[in-house]
Amino acid sequence: MNVTIVDYKSGNISSVINSFKEVAKDKVTIEVTSDLNKIKSSDKVVLPGQGSFKSCVDALNKIKGLTDTLNEFAINYKKPLLGICVGLQMFADVGYEETETKGLGWISGKVSKIDNQKGKYKLPHIGWNQINIVKNSKIFKDIENNSHMYFVHSYEFVPNDKKVIAATTDYSSNIVCSVEKENIFGTQFHPEKSDRIGLKIIDNFINL
Protein backbone atom coordinates (compact mmCIF):
# COMPACT_ATOMS: atom_id res chain seq x y z
CA MET A 1 0.00 0.00 0.00
CA ASN A 2 1.11 3.56 -0.54
CA VAL A 3 0.00 6.78 1.06
CA THR A 4 0.70 10.09 -0.64
CA ILE A 5 1.23 13.30 1.25
CA VAL A 6 0.42 16.10 -1.16
CA ASP A 7 3.30 18.53 -1.33
CA TYR A 8 1.84 21.67 -2.87
CA LYS A 9 4.49 24.05 -1.58
CA SER A 10 2.44 25.60 1.13
CA GLY A 11 3.82 25.76 4.63
CA ASN A 12 5.79 23.32 6.62
CA ILE A 13 4.98 19.66 6.09
CA SER A 14 8.08 18.01 7.52
CA SER A 15 6.32 17.10 10.77
CA VAL A 16 3.53 15.42 8.82
CA ILE A 17 6.07 13.47 6.78
CA ASN A 18 8.05 12.43 9.88
CA SER A 19 4.98 11.21 11.73
CA PHE A 20 3.61 9.19 8.82
CA LYS A 21 7.00 7.61 8.23
CA GLU A 22 7.28 6.77 11.92
CA VAL A 23 3.91 5.03 11.89
CA ALA A 24 4.29 3.40 8.49
CA LYS A 25 7.72 1.91 9.26
CA ASP A 26 8.44 -0.48 6.38
CA LYS A 27 4.90 -1.76 5.92
CA VAL A 28 3.54 1.17 3.95
CA THR A 29 5.20 3.43 1.39
CA ILE A 30 4.90 7.12 2.12
CA GLU A 31 5.22 9.33 -0.94
CA VAL A 32 5.59 13.08 -0.73
CA THR A 33 4.75 14.62 -4.06
CA SER A 34 2.57 16.85 -6.20
CA ASP A 35 2.91 14.52 -9.17
CA LEU A 36 -0.62 14.00 -10.48
CA ASN A 37 -0.06 10.44 -11.68
CA LYS A 38 1.42 9.37 -8.38
CA ILE A 39 -1.51 10.89 -6.51
CA LYS A 40 -3.97 9.13 -8.83
CA SER A 41 -2.35 5.76 -8.32
CA SER A 42 -1.99 5.98 -4.55
CA ASP A 43 -4.28 4.20 -2.12
CA LYS A 44 -4.67 7.07 0.29
CA VAL A 45 -3.98 10.76 0.24
CA VAL A 46 -3.08 13.19 3.00
CA LEU A 47 -3.76 16.86 2.42
CA PRO A 48 -1.85 18.97 4.94
CA GLY A 49 -2.21 22.73 5.17
CA GLN A 50 -0.57 25.56 7.03
CA GLY A 51 -0.85 29.30 6.74
CA SER A 52 -4.03 30.99 5.62
CA PHE A 53 -7.01 29.43 3.83
CA LYS A 54 -6.33 31.71 0.88
CA SER A 55 -2.62 30.94 0.64
CA CYS A 56 -3.32 27.19 0.70
CA VAL A 57 -6.07 27.36 -1.94
CA ASP A 58 -3.83 29.58 -4.08
CA ALA A 59 -0.97 27.12 -3.74
CA LEU A 60 -3.23 24.19 -4.72
CA ASN A 61 -4.46 26.08 -7.78
CA LYS A 62 -0.94 26.96 -8.80
CA ILE A 63 -0.21 23.33 -9.60
CA LYS A 64 -2.03 22.66 -12.83
CA GLY A 65 -4.56 19.86 -12.59
CA LEU A 66 -4.05 19.24 -8.90
CA THR A 67 -7.54 20.15 -7.69
CA ASP A 68 -9.05 18.09 -10.53
CA THR A 69 -6.90 15.15 -9.55
CA LEU A 70 -7.88 15.49 -5.89
CA ASN A 71 -11.54 15.77 -6.88
CA GLU A 72 -11.26 12.64 -8.95
CA PHE A 73 -9.49 10.80 -6.13
CA ALA A 74 -11.85 11.79 -3.33
CA ILE A 75 -15.17 12.38 -5.05
CA ASN A 76 -15.24 10.13 -8.13
CA TYR A 77 -13.20 7.19 -6.88
CA LYS A 78 -14.04 7.73 -3.21
CA LYS A 79 -10.62 6.76 -2.00
CA PRO A 80 -9.64 7.71 1.56
CA LEU A 81 -8.33 11.21 2.06
CA LEU A 82 -7.27 12.91 5.28
CA GLY A 83 -7.12 16.69 5.55
CA ILE A 84 -5.12 18.21 8.40
CA CYS A 85 -5.69 21.74 9.74
CA VAL A 86 -6.15 24.01 6.70
CA GLY A 87 -6.25 20.77 4.71
CA LEU A 88 -9.56 20.05 6.46
CA GLN A 89 -10.72 23.65 6.14
CA MET A 90 -10.34 23.52 2.36
CA PHE A 91 -13.11 20.87 2.22
CA ALA A 92 -15.52 23.78 2.70
CA ASP A 93 -17.31 25.77 -0.02
CA VAL A 94 -15.79 29.03 1.07
CA GLY A 95 -13.27 30.54 3.51
CA TYR A 96 -13.08 34.07 4.87
CA GLU A 97 -9.43 34.36 5.92
CA GLU A 98 -7.76 37.41 4.30
CA THR A 99 -10.52 37.56 1.70
CA GLU A 100 -13.43 35.44 0.54
CA THR A 101 -11.95 32.39 -1.19
CA LYS A 102 -13.59 29.40 -2.80
CA GLY A 103 -12.72 26.04 -1.24
CA LEU A 104 -12.86 22.52 -2.68
CA GLY A 105 -16.56 22.27 -1.86
CA TRP A 106 -16.43 18.63 -0.75
CA ILE A 107 -18.27 19.21 2.50
CA SER A 108 -20.74 22.02 2.35
CA GLY A 109 -20.02 24.80 4.82
CA LYS A 110 -17.79 27.77 5.52
CA VAL A 111 -14.56 28.61 7.32
CA SER A 112 -14.78 31.69 9.48
CA LYS A 113 -12.84 33.30 12.30
CA ILE A 114 -13.31 31.84 15.76
CA ASP A 115 -15.51 34.15 17.82
CA ASN A 116 -13.18 34.96 20.71
CA GLN A 117 -15.85 36.90 22.56
CA LYS A 118 -14.36 40.34 22.00
CA GLY A 119 -10.86 39.44 23.09
CA LYS A 120 -11.83 37.34 26.08
CA TYR A 121 -10.05 34.39 24.52
CA LYS A 122 -6.62 34.52 22.91
CA LEU A 123 -6.20 33.75 19.23
CA PRO A 124 -4.71 31.67 17.73
CA HIS A 125 -6.21 28.83 19.73
CA ILE A 126 -2.81 27.28 20.48
CA GLY A 127 -2.06 24.28 22.62
CA TRP A 128 -3.54 21.05 23.88
CA ASN A 129 -7.27 20.73 24.09
CA GLN A 130 -9.57 17.79 24.65
CA ILE A 131 -11.67 16.39 21.88
CA ASN A 132 -15.25 15.38 22.34
CA ILE A 133 -15.89 12.47 20.00
CA VAL A 134 -19.47 12.66 18.74
CA LYS A 135 -19.30 10.11 15.96
CA ASN A 136 -17.76 6.70 15.80
CA SER A 137 -15.27 7.73 13.14
CA LYS A 138 -12.89 5.07 11.86
CA ILE A 139 -9.90 7.28 12.56
CA PHE A 140 -10.87 7.37 16.24
CA LYS A 141 -10.62 3.62 16.71
CA ASP A 142 -9.14 2.96 20.18
CA ILE A 143 -8.97 6.70 20.87
CA GLU A 144 -10.51 7.56 24.20
CA ASN A 145 -13.05 10.33 24.39
CA ASN A 146 -11.59 13.56 25.85
CA SER A 147 -8.09 12.76 24.60
CA HIS A 148 -5.79 15.74 24.27
CA MET A 149 -4.76 16.94 20.83
CA TYR A 150 -2.51 19.78 19.72
CA PHE A 151 -4.25 22.73 18.07
CA VAL A 152 -3.06 25.88 16.39
CA HIS A 153 -5.61 27.87 14.40
CA SER A 154 -7.72 31.04 14.39
CA TYR A 155 -10.38 29.91 11.93
CA GLU A 156 -12.93 27.14 12.23
CA PHE A 157 -14.87 24.99 9.81
CA VAL A 158 -18.63 25.33 10.18
CA PRO A 159 -20.27 22.54 8.17
CA ASN A 160 -23.90 22.90 7.13
CA ASP A 161 -24.75 19.29 7.75
CA LYS A 162 -23.95 18.54 11.39
CA LYS A 163 -23.92 14.82 10.66
CA VAL A 164 -20.41 15.08 9.23
CA ILE A 165 -19.01 16.23 12.58
CA ALA A 166 -16.84 13.54 14.17
CA ALA A 167 -15.47 15.54 17.09
CA THR A 168 -15.62 18.98 18.67
CA THR A 169 -13.49 20.86 21.14
CA ASP A 170 -14.41 23.54 23.66
CA TYR A 171 -12.75 26.91 23.50
CA SER A 172 -14.54 30.23 23.26
CA SER A 173 -17.30 28.20 21.66
CA ASN A 174 -17.84 24.63 20.61
CA ILE A 175 -15.45 24.18 17.68
CA VAL A 176 -15.68 21.44 15.07
CA CYS A 177 -12.33 19.67 15.17
CA SER A 178 -12.92 16.55 13.11
CA VAL A 179 -15.18 15.57 10.25
CA GLU A 180 -15.95 12.38 8.42
CA LYS A 181 -18.00 12.16 5.25
CA GLU A 182 -17.82 8.74 3.64
CA ASN A 183 -14.18 8.44 2.49
CA ILE A 184 -13.20 11.98 3.48
CA PHE A 185 -11.65 12.57 6.89
CA GLY A 186 -10.34 15.70 8.48
CA THR A 187 -8.80 16.96 11.69
CA GLN A 188 -8.45 20.59 12.68
CA PHE A 189 -5.87 19.54 15.26
CA HIS A 190 -2.45 18.19 14.36
CA PRO A 191 -2.26 14.43 14.91
CA GLU A 192 1.38 14.59 13.81
CA LYS A 193 2.14 16.78 16.82
CA SER A 194 -0.21 15.16 19.31
CA ASP A 195 2.17 12.66 20.82
CA ARG A 196 1.44 8.90 20.85
CA ILE A 197 -2.31 9.39 20.74
CA GLY A 198 -1.97 11.50 17.60
CA LEU A 199 0.18 8.84 15.97
CA LYS A 200 -2.58 6.35 16.74
CA ILE A 201 -4.98 8.42 14.62
CA ILE A 202 -2.46 8.37 11.79
CA ASP A 203 -2.12 4.63 12.25
CA ASN A 204 -5.91 4.27 12.07
CA PHE A 205 -6.00 6.21 8.82
CA ILE A 206 -3.19 4.17 7.30
CA ASN A 207 -4.95 0.96 8.31
CA LEU A 208 -8.39 1.92 7.00
Contact residues for another protein (CB under 8 A)?
A: 11-12, 14-15, 18-19, 21-22, 50-52, 55, 116, 119, 122-130, 148, 150-154, 170-171, 192-196, 198-199
Report in angstroms the alpha-carbon separations of 164 from 29, 109, 168, 182.
29, 11, 11, 9
190 is an active site residue: yes
* DSSP-assigned letters across all residues of 43-65: SEEEE---S-HHHHHHHHHHSTT
CB of 187 to another protein, least distance (A): 14
Q: Which is nearer to another protein, 116 or 183 (CB)?
A: 116
Q: Which is nearer to another protein, 158 or 199 (CB)?
A: 199
Give the chain's end-to-end CA distance (angstroms, integer). 11
Q: Which is nearer to another protein, 13 or 39 (CB)?
A: 13
Catalytic residue, chosen from 85, 97, 153, 177, is: 85
Catalytic residue, chosen from 31, 56, 156, 190, is: 190
CB of 182 to another protein, least distance (A): 28
Beta strands (DSSP E) in 44-196 are 44-47, 81-84, 94-95, 101-102, 109-113, 125-133, 148-153, 155-159, 165-170, 174-181, 184-187
CB of 124 to another protein, least distance (A): 6
Q: List residues with catalytic annotation.
A: 85, 190, 192
